[in-house]
A and B are shown apart, each in its own frame.
Chain A
Amino acid sequence: MGANLPASLLVPQPAVIVGRTQESPSIFTMKLCLEDAAAQSAYRHSLGQFNMLYLPGVGEVPISIMSDPDDRQAIGHTIRTVGRVTNRLAELQVGDRIGLRGPFGRGWPMEAMQGRDVVVITGGLGCAPVVAVIHYILRRRGDFGHLTIIQGVKKAEDLIWREQYAQWNTQPDTHVMVAADEGGTLWPWHVGRVTDLFDRISMQPDKAMAVMCGPEGMMVVSAKMLTERGLPEENIFLSMERNMHCAVGHCGHCQFGGSFICKDGPVFSWPQVKGLIAHRGF
């Protein structure tokens, strides 16, 4: 028998919005605090896990946890308004209340990454799961080796947190590379494909780890290019997304081959997904 589902994972807990930042026209960050103070102080997550956010009368949506695991004050989520639930969540303000179930899933192997060079690869409109990794490393800079951040976007204006990328690039032992297929005036970064940047990655391949999040096609190409440059396949990790309703491995929506992304992931090592990820439809 499996363990009985704890109440905090079975039924949402009431949470209050204690902070809200509009990051771009379609992306916002909200900080949540569980209304039950004891539940809030007992709440623990590991980097890369997600919560189910619930808006009564509308529904639930899985959202990656953005805040630092050591932050006991609030639970942060950066959300892109792309669907029915996220559009309604975007209308809420500080003081409004929603429900929260979680945390769920398996996160990034942060302990295994200690002392190693880290390559962070992300694409599209900015990817919260890996941005949380970047924040985590920069807050504990001495615990990790060289940090390379690679971000690809279609158009220059798609890059959110633009100042943040520039600021990260000034951090010790940190190299930021951004590529836009279409640049623009005052675009300081590379114009072209994100894959053009891989030869400029500084890493000791046998002592490095890569974390990726973004469009699956981009991750497939990136994994291939990293392994060609000597990075062992099992040192490449990525965060996967699929439809999710229950978050505990029962509803079947997030199946990816034999894996349930909600409980076996969302973070996987490259060898776990490489067989199916290139086939459209899984």
Chain B
Amino acid sequence: MNASFSPARFLDFSGLDTLIQAIRSAGYRCMGPAIENDALVLRELTGARELPRGMQAEQAPGQFKLTHDAENRYFAWANGPQAIKPYVFAPRESLWQVRRDEKGSLKFESFTPQPEKTALIGVRACDLAALTLQDAHFLEGQYSDSSYAIRRKSLFMVAMQCAEPAATCFCASTGDGPTPQSGYDLSLAELPDGFVVAAGSEPGQKVLSMLDLNEATPEQIQSTKEQGEAAARRQTRSLPARDLRPLLMNNLEHARWDEVAARCLACGNCTAVCPTCFCHAALDEPDAAAGKSLHVRQWDSCFNEGHAYLHGHNVRPDTRTRYRQWLTHKLATWHEQYGRSGCVGCGRCITWCPAGIDLTEEVAAMAKGS
């Protein structure tokens, strides 16, 4: 809990709707968990009654199955396929439009996104850690990306402690969860009779001060702490080290790459659900009738055929080199770029892989054989 803001408060279940209305009255559209197509997604939320209370999700390699929580909690699930990433790094962004004037000169016009102020309800520690990594990539390098920066500023983060990690989760081993440490406006932890709420920013403090809430008791704060520790202990998957550069970069010709390539469909699902993957492709969309062309960028994947295309040949022509590129980048060369691993332990790449490939298992196999 952040010391620079007022002490944590306690919000009973009946107050959850009041909190949502307070956020809405501060000018934010609320996006919260909802069930759609048998998955947990973020959809616009107008009140607490719309939350999928009592739902839980059982996750395993290649599996996401909705179940019911015996304790009827609001946030007893770990995560769905997407959380923050699409709200900052848009799946599709228009970059510029060009038309020719009557003299044949090119007239360029750039775009500035105008996102609605949005509160994301129930984001997890892994996703906040991933957001820090996306910030490092899009904002803190040599150049800062203005579209990302504008979208980033439009967000209000309502974090939620993970009490029920999925079988695919391993944030404790990457050091990114299950309790949110920073990067939120408000942070909640669900207890049997309500939530402990803390502010982590000025806007969060402002919303919290709109509610008439008692300070959380030391016992309640202690319970959330123990709940986080228990959730960390229950995680069954892990990576053997935070820095896997020596292991992976010294095994670039390991037989395991061929073995995993035989199972991998190169579909790119892992990169689409990964909260830190940042690759995007630029393409031109001509509109001959209107005499103009639109230049856009959209999410790309290092598993796509064209990702490493280079005039007449493909630098990564097969699944083996593509999977190796993904895994070595995520867990090894990311350190050279941003000073840490690119994996936050959310486990989405395991759950949403149609072949059920588990990166923790691939790393373990590599470690065993080397």
Contact A2 B139 (CB under 8 A): yes
A281 to B320, Cβ gap below 8 A?
yes
Q: Which residues of A sit under 8 angstroms from B253, Cβ to Cβ?
A: 279
Which of A14, A57, A260 is B105 in contact with, Cβ under 8 Å? A14
Interface status of A25 (Cβ within 8 A of chain B) = no
Contacts A2-B140, A258-B337; is A82 near B311 (CB within 8 Å)? yes
Q: Are A251 and B142 in contact (CB under 8 A)?
A: no
Choice from A9, A252, A253 contacting B143 with Cβ under 8 Å: A9
Q: Do B280 and A245 touch (CB < 8 A)?
A: yes
- How far apart are A241's CB and chain B's nearest CB, in angstroms? 6
Contacting residues, chain B, for A99 (C-beta < 8 A): 98, 106, 108
Q: Which A238-255 residues sit within 8 Å CB-CB of chain B?
A: 241-243, 245-246, 248-253, 255
Residues of B within 8 A of A4 (CB): 143-144, 146
Give the B interface residue count (CB, 8 A).
Answer: 58
State the Cβ distance, A250 to closest chain B Cβ, in Å: 6
How distant is A140 from chain B, measured CB to nearest CB, in Å? 30
Instruction: List 30 A-B pairs, Cβ < 8 Å.
Output: A2-B141, A5-B144, A14-B105, A14-B106, A35-B105, A83-B311, A83-B312, A97-B100, A97-B105, A99-B108, A241-B310, A243-B307, A245-B297, A248-B142, A250-B137, A250-B278, A251-B281, A251-B297, A253-B279, A253-B281, A255-B329, A257-B328, A258-B337, A260-B337, A275-B249, A280-B321, A281-B316, A281-B320, A282-B315, A282-B321
Given contacts A56-B98, A250-B137, A257-B336, 9 further A-B contacts (CB under 8 A): A4-B143, A14-B108, A57-B286, A97-B106, A242-B310, A245-B281, A246-B280, A255-B333, A281-B325
Residues of B within 8 A of A (CB): 95-96, 98, 100, 104-108, 110, 137-146, 249, 252-253, 278-284, 286, 288, 292-293, 295, 297, 300, 302, 306-312, 315-316, 320-321, 324-325, 328-329, 333-337
Q: Which 6 A-B pairs have the closest CB atoms?
A: A258-B336, A281-B321, A57-B286, A252-B279, A82-B311, A258-B333
The residues of A with any CB-CB pair to B shorter than 8 Å are 1-5, 7, 9-14, 35, 54, 56-60, 80, 82-83, 86, 97-99, 241-243, 245-246, 248-253, 255, 257-260, 263, 275, 279-282
